[in-house]
């Protein structure tokens, strides 16, 4: 299975169209951060099922694109404080995995409460995205 992580910096009106990248690279699952889609704003790509979490206000947002034919389902995200995320349950090499697309605004610090619900459980979690940790600052909480 081929995965990609992409800080989209807005998925609409880009010079490099997502479908070109995904098809050219043969991507099965793509984790997107900073989609900049507003609630109700449509976004579709041929051959992909799109799961997204929009920010209630303008900006950011996360999404997981899953190629059609790959068994998966959306997973609810309880109690996040600062982290924005979209999660899906997939099977990789016959084993269940949670795939999590994440975004953390540079104005926030990642706190342990945002991660504890996902890590340390029985199911493996693959998280990728833009956590804006430019100076190597660790988590707190």
To the question of pTM greater than 0.85 for the whole model, the response is: no
Residue 72: the pLDDT is 95
Residue 14: the pLDDT is 55
How would residue 11 be classed by pLDDT, with cut points 50, 70 and 90? low
Q: What are phi and psi of 21, to 5 degrees?
A: -60, -50
Residue-wise pLDDT tens digits, 108-117: 877 777 777 6
Rounded distance between C-alpha atoms, residue 103 and residue 63, angstroms: 10
CA 17 to chain centre: 18
Task: Domains for the chain: give ranges and CATH numbers.
Answer: 3-130 (3.60.10.10)
What counts of helices (H) and strands (E) characterise the chain? 2, 8
Residue-wise pLDDT tens digits, 61-81: 888 999 999 999 999 887 788
* Statement: residue 88 has pLDDT above 90: yes
- Kindly list the distances between the CA atom of residue 13 and the CA atoms of 16, 36, 55, 57, 125, in Å, as whole numbers in the listed order: 9, 11, 19, 20, 32
Q: Is 92 in contact with 101 (CB distance < 8 Å)?
A: no
Rounded distance between C-alpha atoms, residue 122 and residue 20, angstroms: 36
* Statement: residue 12 has pLDDT above 70: no
Q: What is the CA radius of gyration of the chain?
A: 15
How would residue 41 be classed by pLDDT, with cut points 50, 70 and 90? confident
Cβ neighbours of residue 38 under 8 Å, at least 6 residues apart?
54, 58
Mean predicted lDDT score pLDDT of the chain: 81
CA torsion, ordered 96, 47, 40, 32, to nearest 10 deg: 60
């Amino acid at each position: 299975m081929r995965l990609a992580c992409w800080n989209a910096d807005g998925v609409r009106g880009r010079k490099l169209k997502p479908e070109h990248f995904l098809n050219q690279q043969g991507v099965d699952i793509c984790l997107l951060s900073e989609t900049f889609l507003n609630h109700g704003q449509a976004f579709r790509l041929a051959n992909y099922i799109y799961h997204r979490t929009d920010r209630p206000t303008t900006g950011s947002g996360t999404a997981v694109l899953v190629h059609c034919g790959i068994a998966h389902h959306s997973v609810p995200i309880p109690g996040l404080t600062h982290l924005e995320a979209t999660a899906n349950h997939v099977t990789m090499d016959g084993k269940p995995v949670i795939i999590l697309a994440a975004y953390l605004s540079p104005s926030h610090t990642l706190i342990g409460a945002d991660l504890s619900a996902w890590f340390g459980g029985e199911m493996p979690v693959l998280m990728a995205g833009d956590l804006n940790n430019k100076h190597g600052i660790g988590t707190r909480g």
